[in-house]
Amino acid sequence: MKIALIGYGEVGRILGEDLRAAGHAIRACDLKRDDAAAALREHADRHGVELAASHADAVANAEGVISAVTASQTVAVAQACAAALPHGAWFLDFNSASPRAKQRAGEIVDAAGGRYVEGAVMTSVPPYRIAVPLLLGGPHAAALLPQLTALGFKARVVSDRLGVASATKMCRSVMIKGLEAMVIESFTAARAYGVEEPVLASLAETFPGIDWEKQGAYFFQRVIEHGRRRSEEVREVAVTVQDVGLTPWSASGTAKRQAWMADAADAGVFGERGRSGFARSADWRIEADRILARIECKEPR
């Protein structure tokens, strides 16, 4: 199958590797520059992925398109691909965007003769790779499902209406991305006050099914590595909440914390390599101490 990947970051590269390993022809487009562009080219060469100079070039002869970009680019990518999209080509939108954004992207793709399907990725991609749990939505979702299954995806259709799958993901992200931000804030403040051990003990008593040491380290590292992307997703979460008339106080605060961590990573607070390829620490305290050093934390009163 001829497949175009729009977006060749972490998710795009994983999909590219797995689809190429299954023998499919992959063309990818990603608008990265400088060092990131060199890493992109090296990865594509190693895995036999052809790089395209533009979105239109990537999708020109594709039977299927997978859009895996940052949330804010969901509609823009649909617009950039629409004019060159072959009639009847599938367009699977992997992006963590609001129902309204997915509906708008679907209108653009379908008007151009493509077949748009929204996809909502329901957990972190790396452990599952192409088999990550995926919810599908839209009038073309049921028809695409058998082909995705043959490609190795673990997908299921939740609705023939666009927006239902993404609403499910967005509402879940209020909790999941919010929990990441709360753990970083709680654990770092506890570290500053020297009370991290009793805080962890209390959490373990209240939620005995969670290994808070391990979960804390995982949350810190995921946000350090992907805070920028996560902050954009949570802004879409806030839009989702706002669209039903609720003020998104929690989502807005989470987006700010995720972006703040991304800024710190870009500034080198977490090591010279920043977020890309960061060697994960098994101890969240190392990262909390770096945060506290950055803000010049004073002795608590």
pLDDT tier, 221 (very low <50, low <70, confident <90, very high otherwise): very high
Nearest C-alpha neighbor of 7 from the set 44, 35, 42: 44
Domains, the chain, with CATH or none: 2-161 (3.40.50.720), 166-294 (1.10.1040.10)
pLDDT at 276 over 50: no
Question: Average pLDDT, stretch 32-55?
Answer: 86
More confident residue, 275 or 231: 231
Q: Judge whether residue 104 has pLDDT over 90.
A: yes
> 7 with 68: CB under 8 angstroms?
yes
Supply 114's token pair. 């493509």
Mean pLDDT of 153-179: 97
Residue 33 pLDDT exceeds 80 = no
DSSP-derived secondary structure letter, 191: H
| Single-letter residue type at 117 | V
- CB-based contact 93:116 (threshold 8 Å): yes
Tell which residue, 107, 129, 122, has the closest CA to residue 167.
122
Q: Residue for token digits 């617009």?
A: 79
pLDDT value for 118? 98
CA 110, CA 78: separation in Å to the nearest integer?
10
**Per-residue confidence at 198, pLDDT binned at 50, 70, 90?**
very high
Write down the pLDDT at residue 32: 72
Q: What angle do CA 197, 200, 201 make, to 5 degrees?
A: 85
User: What is d(CA 180, CA 163) in angstroms, rounded to the nearest whole number?
Assistant: 25
277 or 116, higher pLDDT: 116
DSSP code string of 85-118:
PPTT-EEEE-----HHHHHHHHHHHHHTT-EEEE
- What confidence tier does 259 reach under pLDDT thresholds 50, 70, 90? very high
pLDDT of 266 reads 87
Tell me if 103 sits within 8 A of 163, measured CB to CB.
Answer: yes
Supply the pLDDT for residue 38.
Answer: 84
Q: Which amino acid makes up residue 224?
A: I
Examine the pLDDT at 275 and tell me if it is beyond 50.
no
| CB half-sphere exposure, 77, CA atoms < 13 A | 28
95/72 Cα distance (integer angstroms): 9
pTM: 0.88
Return the minimum-mean-pLDDT range out of 36-45, 88-97, 189-198, 209-218.
36-45
Mean pLDDT of the chain: 92
Write the DSSP symbol of residue 269. T
User: What pLDDT does residue 272 have?
Assistant: 56
Amino acid identity of residue 145, one-letter, is L
Q: What is the mean pLDDT of residues 260-282?
A: 71
The strand pair at 90-93 and 133-137 is best described as unpaired
Reading across the β-sheet that carries 64-67, which strands appear in turn? 50-51, 25-29, 2-6, 64-67, 90-93, 115-121, 133-137, 154-159
CB 162 within 8 A of CB 102: yes
pLDDT of residue 297: 53
Question: What per-residue confidence (pLDDT) applies to 270?
Answer: 87
pLDDT of residue 109: 98
| SS3 state of residue 245 | coil
34 pLDDT higher than 80:
no
Rounded CA-CA distance 146/135 in Å is 14
| Per-residue model confidence (pLDDT) at position 35 | 60
Provide mean pLDDT across the span 26-48.
85
The pLDDT of residue 22 is 96
pLDDT above 90 for 237 = yes
